[in-house]
């Protein structure tokens, strides 16, 4: 699956998540039960937001694989753009950092997510947070308009990552920067996992090699690119057994981490 077909899968799966209750989502993450359509729990992907300033329970759908705001160097008064903003979890944390003088824009291509996020911002009464329906490969944002771009476990789901990072470069002001949490591969995945659409929508099979991911960022023109946080992710044997023969699943699990959660930072130093 490529291009528009992959987008359709992602939109369908994340649209389903947006329509579910928070109680159903409480033990899910971006690779949880709602994405993959099974009973497995992938809580290894999820980070705890509950103690962060700006945290809003209604916006936390357990879809992340990091906390990009931790290393985003967001300042009071900044304009922050959150890509794949979901129900607004990272956007509301960013809003607490920019303060009343700053501004936060969220972009998501899934209409039910945008609807949920807008309901949340209305309930919170924020006038400096907005959510726009749009595609990360063609953002509804002016050029050189934002100070910081953040994203959490989303860009690996974008088919054209070069286009996505070129769009990030376009919308950032000169001197601006990004902080992105994402899933990458330390080594290639077995073909059975790579081609599984359900796993793709759950943030695993859409991932590319870490070296390729960082190469795209640097090719785009970003400077001072640095992986600030890196964590190995191990899929449980019972999950691997859905896609691999038992002996292959055991061998894969024992071979070490193929999948990594990283938070990467980069700066736009030229127009």
**62-77 tens-digit pLDDT:** 888 999 999 999 999 9
pLDDT for res 122:
97
Average the pLDDT over 114-139 and give the result: 96
With a pLDDT cut of 70, the percent of the chain lying above it is: 85
**271 vs 47, residue with greater confidence:** 47
User: How confident is the model over 207-217, as a mean pLDDT?
Assistant: 95
Which pLDDT does position 271 carry in this prediction? Answer: 65
Q: Please report the pLDDT score of residue 203 as a whole number.
A: 63
Domain containing residue 156: 3-267
- Least confident range from 87-91, 119-123, 190-194, 252-256: namely 190-194
Calculate ∠ Cα 209-215-262, nearest 5°: 55
Quickly list DSSP for 33-54: HHHHSSS---GGG----TTSTT
Indicate whether 31 pLDDT > 80.
no
More confident residue, 157 or 21: 157
Can you give the pLDDT at residue 4? 65
| Residue 217's CATH number | 3.40.50.150
Structural domain total, the chain: 1
pTM, two decimals, is 0.88
Which residue has better confidence, 261 or 31?
261
Alpha helices in the chain (DSSP H): 3-19, 22-25, 33-36, 89-98, 111-124, 161-171, 191-194, 197-201, 210-220, 237-240, 246-254
Mean pLDDT, the chain, whole residue set: 86
């Amino acid at each position: 699956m490529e291009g528009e077909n992959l987008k359709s899968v992602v939109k369908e799966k994340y649209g389903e998540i947006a329509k579910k209750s928070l109680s159903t989502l409480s033990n899910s993450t971006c690779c949880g039960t709602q994405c993959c359509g099974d009973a497995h729990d992938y809580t290894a992907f999820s980070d705890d937001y509950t103690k962060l300033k700006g945290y809003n329970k209604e916006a936390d759908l357990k879809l992340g694989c990091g906390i990009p705001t931790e290393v985003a160097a967001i300042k009071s008064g900044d304009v922050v753009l959150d890509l794949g903003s979901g129900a607004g979890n990272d956007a509301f944390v960013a809003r607490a950092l920019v303060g009343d003088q700053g501004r936060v824009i969220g972009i998501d291509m899934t209409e039910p997510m945008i609807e949920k996020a807008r309901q949340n911002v209305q309930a919170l009464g924020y006038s400096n947070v907005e959510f726009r329906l749009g595609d990360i490969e063609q953002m509804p944002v002016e050029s050189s308009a934002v100070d910081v771009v953040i994203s959490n476990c989303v860009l690996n789901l974008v088919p054209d990552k070069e286009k996505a990072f070129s769009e990030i470069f376009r919308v950032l002001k000169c001197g601006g920067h990004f902080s992105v949490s994402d899933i990458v591969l330390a080594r290639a995945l077995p073909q059975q996992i790579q081609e599984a659409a359900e796993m793709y929508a759950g943030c695993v099979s859409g991932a590319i090699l870490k070296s390729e991911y960082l190469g795209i960022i640097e090719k785009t023109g970003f400077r001072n690119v640095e992986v600030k946080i890196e964590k190995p992710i191990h899929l449980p044997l019972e999950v691997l057994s859905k896609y691999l023969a038992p002996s292959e699943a055991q061998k894969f699990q024992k071979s070490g981490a193929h999948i990594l959660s990283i938070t990467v930072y980069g700066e736009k130093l030229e127009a």
